[in-house]
Chain A
Amino acid sequence: MRTLNALRCGWLILLLLFAGNLWAQANLDVDTPAITALRSSMQKRFAELSPFYANGAIGLTRDGYIALREPNAVPLPQRQQVNGLVAAENQDRAALYKEISRANGHAEWENDIRTTFAQRWIDKAAGGWYYQNNAGAWTRK
C-alpha cells in the first residue's frame, strides 16, 4: 500500500515537473517598448535593404547579423549609404538580442538568442539570397 502511494506521488511529481517545463518554455516576452521600437525600425529599413539582399550585395552571417559581401553589386554612389544601412541594421540586431534576453530576466541568454535568430533568419530567407554556412562560406539559397 505504501509503495502504491509513493508511486502515485512520484507520478504526480513527474507530471508537475513536466507542466513546469512546458510553462517555462511557453513564452518569451518580445513586446516591451524597446523591442517594439527595434522591430519597427528594422521593418522600415528592410524596404531599403531588400534589393541588396536580392542581388547578393548583402548576406546573412552565421552569427545573426548581415554583411556587405559584394560591394561591387552596389552602384558606387549608393555604396556609402548601404554601408550605413548595414551598420545600423547590425546595431539594431545586437540591441534586439540583448533586449530580449534582458526583458526576460536572463541577460546570459543573449548568445543563445542570437544563435536562434541566426538560424531562423537563414531559414526564412528568400530564394537567391546569400547566407554564411556553418563553415563561414557564402552560399546562395
Chain B
Amino acid sequence: MRSVILMAGLGCALVQGCVTINIYFPAAAAEQAADKIIDEVWQLKNPASPAPKPQAK
C-alpha cells in the first residue's frame, strides 16, 4: 500500500515536472545566458588571458 502511494506520488511529481518545464520561462537561466553572451561580446571578462581590461571607464 505504501509503495503504491509512493509510486503514485512519484508519477505525479514527474508529470508535474514536465508541465512546469513547458509552461514557465526560466528567467534565472535566461539571465545567466545573457550575462555569459554579453560578457563575451563586450569582452567584460577575459578568463583566457590575465591581462587587465583594455578599456578604462
Q: In the complex the two chains form, what is the Cα distance from A113 to B27 in whole Å?
A: 8
Q: In the complex the two chains form, what is the Cα distance from A9 to B1 in whole Å?
A: 12
**Is A127 engaged at the interface, CB distance under 8 Å to the other chain?**
yes
Other than A28-B29, A39-B40, A120-B31, give 14 A-B pairs with Cβ distance below 8 A.
A6-B5, A10-B9, A12-B6, A12-B10, A13-B10, A20-B14, A20-B17, A21-B20, A24-B17, A116-B30, A124-B44, A126-B55, A126-B57, A127-B57
CB pair B55–A116 under 8 Å, yes or no, is no
Interface centre among B2, B26, B34 (most CB of A within 10 A): B34
**Is B48 engaged at the interface, CB distance under 8 Å to the other chain?**
no
**Is A52 engaged at the interface, CB distance under 8 Å to the other chain?**
no
Give the chain A neighbours of B38 by CB distance below 8 A: 117, 120-121, 124
User: B residues engaging A (CB < 8 A)?
Assistant: 2, 5-6, 9-10, 12-14, 16-17, 20-21, 24-44, 55, 57
CB pair A39–B5 under 8 Å, yes or no, is no
Interface centre among A24, A112, A127 (most CB of B within 10 A): A24
Which residue on B lies nearest to A12, using beta carbons?
B9
Main secondary structure of the interface of A (DSSP, over half): helix
Within 8 A of B (CB), among A1-54: 5-6, 9-10, 12-13, 16-17, 20-21, 23-28, 30, 35, 39, 42-43, 46, 50
Give the chain A neighbours of B43 by CB distance below 8 A: 43, 46
Give the chain B neighbours of A27 by CB distance below 8 A: 29
Give the chain A neighbours of B55 by CB distance below 8 A: 50, 126
The smallest C-beta distance from B45 to any residue of chain A, in angstroms, reads: 10
CB pair B33–A13 under 8 Å, yes or no, is no
**Is A57 engaged at the interface, CB distance under 8 Å to the other chain?**
no
Q: In the complex the two chains form, what is the Cα distance from A128 to B51 in whole Å?
A: 24
CB pair A46–B17 under 8 Å, yes or no, is no
